[in-house]
């Protein structure tokens, strides 16, 4: 005997709680509220520990206050884009790195872009071939 399911107060595809949970009511929010009054003391204790030689505390302070710098690379001006096969293009870019014309990170981005263009070209070629086959098949 099949059990009857009770009617739902909402329509399929609608949330049963459209307003959602009120903001600031989760466990992390409650923890933040409890810690807020003690935060200055906690920060002072971590800084004291870092100054006393605690390397984990020092790492915590430095990571939060002075995050690691990301390398900045200047824009490439006047660089001729390589031509030829994809292999030749990548080889030319690597050669420009060895000559100091292009930063290694920029070279990696350029080679990645060449790979993306190659995939797009491959897709275009396959689409054209499929269309030609479909036309040929439709005529027979």
Q: Is 81 helix (H, G, I), strand (E, B) or coil?
A: coil
pTM of the model: 0.46
State pLDDT tens for residues 60-119: 988 888 888 877 777 777 677 788 888 999 999 999 999 988 888 889 999 999 999 999
State pLDDT tens for residues 22-49: 776 778 888 888 888 898 999 899 999 9
Q: What is the pLDDT of residue 27?
A: 84
């Amino acid at each position: 005997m099949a059990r009857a399911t009770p009617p739902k107060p909402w329509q399929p595809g609608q949330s049963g709680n459209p307003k959602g949970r009120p903001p600031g009511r989760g466990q992390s929010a409650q923890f933040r509220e409890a810690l807020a009054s003690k935060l200055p003391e906690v920060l002072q204790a971590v800084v004291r520990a870092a100054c006393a030689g605690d390397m984990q505390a020092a790492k915590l302070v430095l990571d939060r206050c002075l995050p690691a710098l990301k390398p900045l690379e200047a824009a490439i001006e006047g660089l001729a884009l390589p031509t030829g096969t994809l292999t030749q293009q990548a080889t030319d870019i690597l050669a420009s790195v060895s000559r100091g014309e292009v930063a290694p990170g920029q070279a990696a981005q350029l080679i990645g872009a060449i790979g993306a263009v190659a995939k797009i070209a491959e897709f275009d070629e396959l689409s054209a071939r499929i269309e030609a086959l479909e036309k040929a098949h439709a005529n027979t």
